[in-house]
Amino acid sequence: MHTNQSIKPRIRALATAVPAIILDQADVESLGQRLFAARGATFERMRPVYANAGIDERYSCVDLDWYTQEHSWRERSRLYIENARKLTKQAAGECPEQAGLAPDDIGGIAVVSTTGVATPSLDALLIEDMGLRRDISRLPVFGLGCAGGVIGLNRVAELACGALGKKWLFVVVELCGLTFRRADLSNSNIVATALFGDGAAAMVIDSDTDTGPAIICGGEHTWPGSLDVMGWQMQDDGFGVLFSRDIPDLVRTSFGNALAVFLNNAGISLSDIAEIVPHPGGAKVLTALEETMRLPIGSLDNAREILRQYGNMSAATVFFVLQRSLRNAAGGRRLLSALGPGFTAAFSVLEP
């Protein structure tokens, strides 16, 4: 996506939301020891992942006792829809007022989520919950995983460029905890218990304002032969998480080239970027990003702090980092990045 420089879609409002239940990482580690007792020595070998994840606490729509029980697709889906509705309404409900708009001013709505399935989709539910107009354009997006936030932002920016004056409500919600399956004793599931949290982000985007960061370009790169790096394996009782242990190495060896091609096509150099705003998938991934982009120490502190406070909320997390960046940092161009199933890198460049 390369926007016409005379037409710049902008983020006019940005809000985030998390559930009420806080999970302390030490308590989750103790729970993991019980849940994965059957794996004995393997769990003990992997146990440092809890301490090394760079996470102190996370937010969840269910308490720790829920994770000790078996749950059906039906129950997971009920909890997903119930809690996703709450979080999307909480985050999205703040945005029109932030942007100086009324709900009736919103002409389009796009919702990204990959941790549950809803039909009618979450955008339709949010129309009801917020009382949005009846002729609103709808776009539900599923399957992009952790990259869904940045890719979704790019798609909505393109839509905003193509329909001047239409104001889009863009929402991302992920309830990662609900995907946990007690019977799954895989290494990937152990890692998931150390990383994942729940959260939502929302924003208003349009091309009819001079207020807020402008989305000047975006793009993606999907590597060949990489379908088994990250994703879901559908099981009888829910989503089976798939993680490759090679993701940090893939970042070191392949991310830099994909980023260079994207920036070159956009006519931008890395030196033009004032701040990198990455999806903090994990501490090792952040370290790998610093190494491959040769960033000064402290460059990704905003991402590390969000990871420490909230964990990995999949596609929503990058916007928690962006919100912190916009509050704490000076101006200049920002590069948003994320990695997700495909295996895909997603990029978006913002400027004041």
Active-site annotation, residues: 146
Return the DSSP state at 136: -
- Position 5: which residue type? Q
- Position 165: which residue type? G
CA distance 93 to 129: 9
CB atoms closer than 10 angstroms to residue 275? 22
**C-alpha closest to that of 313 among 159, 184, 169, 145:** 145
List Cα–Cα distances, 234 to 115, 140, 172, in angstroms: 12, 20, 22
CA distance 347 to 217: 8
Contact between residue 2 and residue 266 where contact means Cβ atoms under 8 Å apart: yes
Contact between residue 329 and residue 192 where contact means Cβ atoms under 8 Å apart: no
List Cα–Cα distances, 91 to 59, 86, 139, 270, in angstroms: 15, 9, 18, 32
**C-alpha closest to that of 99 among 211, 200, 213:** 211
Strand partners, 62: none
- Position 270: which residue type? L
